[in-house]
Amino acid sequence: MATKIEERPALNRAGVYVIHDMKTGKYAGKILFAYPKDGAGILYVSLWDFTPERGRDVQNGRATGYGYDKQSAALDSMHFGNQDQEFTLNCDSTGMESAREQFAVHGYILQWVI
C-alpha cells in the first residue's frame, strides 16, 4: 500500500503561501519553500507570479546558514505584481511578517497554507 503524502517525512520540510489579489479576490501566485533537514542547511524558495502580464513568471532563491530568517532572506529582491501593484520585495532576513506587509501595501494577501 502506498504511503499517503501527508505521512511522508519530506512534507515536514515544505511550506506554501498562496497570494490573492485584494481587489478581485483572485489567486495571484504562490510561494513554495523547501526547508533543510537541519537548521543550517540550504532553504530553497520559488515565487510564482500569476498576475495578468506576468503569466507564469517563476523566480527562485535560496538562503544558507543560521541565526536569521532564511525565508525572507531568500525572497529578498524578488519582483511581484503588475501595473500599479508591481513591487520588489525588500525583506532581507527581516521576517515573513515584513514580506506579508509588503504584499498587503501593494494589494495582495499572503496566506500560509502548509
pLDDT in tens, 21-62: 999 999 999 999 998 888 788 999 999 999 887 677 899 999
Look at residue 6 in the predicted model and tell me its pLDDT: 67
What proportions of the chain, in percent to the nearest 5, are helix, strand and coil?
A: 25, 35, 40
Q: Which three cell numbers stand for residue 35?
A: 526547508
Total-model pTM: 0.88
Task: Pick the more confident residue, 38 or 76.
Answer: 76
Annotated domain spans of the chain: 5-112
Contact 14, 32 (CB under 8 A): yes
Q: What is the pLDDT of residue 5?
A: 65
